[in-house]
Amino acid sequence: MTTTPDDPTTSSPGRPPVVDLATWQAARDELLVREKAHTRAGDAIAAARRRLPMVEFDPTVEVVGPDGPVPFLDLFQGRDELLVYKHMWYDGAPHQGQCEGCTTMAWNVKDAVYLNARGVSFAVLTTGPWDEVAPYLDFMGYTQPWYSVRGVDEPVGGEMGRITCFLRDGDRAFLTYSTTGRGNEPVSGFFGLLDMTPYGRGEAWEDNPDGWPVIGHVSEGHPATGRQACWYWRSDADGNATWGPTGRPVPQWTRPGATPEETLGRHGSH
């Protein structure tokens, strides 16, 4: 059963208009046409992606993991395909000072069983020295394979903050695809879920109706925190979004012993 106000064209400020179910369904069906077109466009892009050329590189280059140096070819774990996330690293920073964006990526691929079942291996690469990376992995509780690519050139090392795909053919290896920025969003399903909600992500770039509320809050030193991209990726112990001295990348608060710290990044600042 649904209810409507005496005047269905009115509603509380900052909220969608209230209508009857039939009117809502008609609007929903109209949007569904656009959603299906968007899905098909994505399928066409994926088809083009599968037709990209590839670049061969030396798969014997060594990366450093928990057992010391190993050849990059080992990361395939006997499978033909490998997907990696390249995690940024701030040398000498405490756990809470590591990249909050990369934390979202690594945290959302804590289990790659579906990739593995499809014949795709997964690993996280970072430029951090292994003696810093290892305790960070212990703190975060990560079980996926991580490796340090410090000093290793592209396509294995190089620029971080990327999703990169590789193909193996026996003892040969090839770079097939790489993306960064918003191209990384498929890893973090919460983006798509927030996009389905009435107030979205609460970021300034979004196209919202007039009078829509500003989600988030104003943080000292960051007066537009509630509207900046990714403003909710850090929070304090009470879950309040903040990039101040009590903030951590949000998933870190689930870890035992996580406490506010004053030093958030390199040289005492983020």
Cα 14 from Cα 3, distance rounded (Å): 19
Whether the per-residue pLDDT at 268 is higher than 70: the answer is no
Find where tokens 């390199």 sit.
Answer: 266
Q: Report percent pLDDT > 70 for the chain.
A: 88
Query: Are the CB atoms for 124 and 145 separated by under 8 Å?
Result: yes
101-148 per-position pLDDT tens digit: 999 999 999 999 999 999 999 999 999 999 999 999 999 999 999 999
pLDDT tens-digit readout, 139-176? 999 999 999 999 999 999 999 999 999 999 999 999 99
What pLDDT does 114 receive?
97
Instruction: Transcribe 46-91 into DSSP letters.
Output: HHHHTT---EEE-TT-EEEETTEEEEGGGGGTT-SEEEEEEE---T
Average per-residue pLDDT for the chain:
90
User: Band of the pLDDT at 77, cuts 50, 70, 90?
Assistant: very high
- All domains of the chain, ordered by start, with CATH? 55-186 (3.40.30.10), 190-207+214-262 (no CATH)
User: What's the rounded mean pLDDT across residues 63-75?
Assistant: 98
Query: What is the reported pLDDT for 199?
Result: 93
- Residue 91, both tokens: 């040398």
pLDDT score at 1 = 47
CB 127 within 8 A of CB 160: yes
Nearest CA-CA partner of 72 in 172, 139, 204, 141: 172
The answer, yes or no, to whether residue 52 has pLDDT greater than 90, is: yes
What's the mean pLDDT in 203-221? 78
pLDDT computed for residue 269 by the predictor? 41
Q: What pLDDT digit, counting tens, does each position of 21-46 carry? A: 999 999 999 999 999 999 999 999 99
| pLDDT band at residue 177 using 50, 70 and 90 as cut-offs | very high
pLDDT number for residue 223: 45
Q: How does residue 264 score in pLDDT terms, banded at 50, 70 and 90? A: low
| 215 Cβ neighbours under 8 A, 6+ residues apart | 199, 200, 201, 202, 226
